[in-house]
């Protein structure tokens, strides 16, 4: 229990916990990878009351909402399995929020929900799943 309180204190006062630092590194790797494959990053770490978006990108005329998942330990399932229906709903809520606010100029653009999966912090171990889940 003490470890959790310590981690919360670090995240509240602006310092990153080790897990947050690994997550940020995974998102940076994913961003670089997607940009190398022709996507343009529009936003990172978009948070709203109901959810969060790791990356928002543009792939030609599609707005792409990207969920980045790093799982270095498969004990609780892999990275893909961690994108549960609940997580998908939270991403959808955040996507709608972004499209109604900062991304309103893209409201009529087709959208896609991708996942970038990593089992370690290595660019050559990235799995990109375009259309990983639907908005339904």
Q: What is the CATH number of domain 2-133?
A: 3.40.1350.10
- 10 Å Cβ neighbour count for 100? 11
pLDDT digit string, tens, across residues 44-96: 999 999 999 999 999 999 999 999 998 766 555 566 667 889 999 999 999 99
Q: Which pair of tokens denotes residue 84? A: 């549960």
Mean pLDDT of the chain: 85
**Averaged pLDDT for residues 108-128:** 91
Which residues, in sequence order, are bridge partners of residue 68?
116
pTM: 0.84
At residue 42 the predicted structure's pLDDT band, cuts being 50, 70 and 90, is very high
Q: What pLDDT is stored for residue 15 in this prediction?
A: 80
């Amino acid at each position: 229990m003490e470890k959790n309180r310590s981690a919360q204190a670090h995240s509240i006062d602006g310092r990153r916990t080790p897990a947050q630092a690994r997550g940020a590194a995974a998102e940076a790797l994913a961003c670089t990878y997607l940009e190398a494959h022709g996507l343009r990053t529009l936003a990172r770490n978009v948070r709203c009351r109901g959810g969060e978006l790791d990356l928002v990108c543009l792939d030609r005329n599609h707005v792409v909402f990207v969920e980045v998942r790093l799982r270095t330990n498969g004990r609780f399932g892999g990275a893909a399995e961690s994108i549960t229906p609940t997580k998908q709903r939270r991403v959808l809520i955040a996507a709608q929020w972004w499209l109604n606010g900062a991304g309103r100029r893209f409201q009529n653009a087709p959208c896609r929900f991708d996942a970038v999966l990593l089992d370690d912090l290595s660019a050559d171990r990235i799995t990109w799943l375009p259309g990983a889940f639907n908005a339904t």
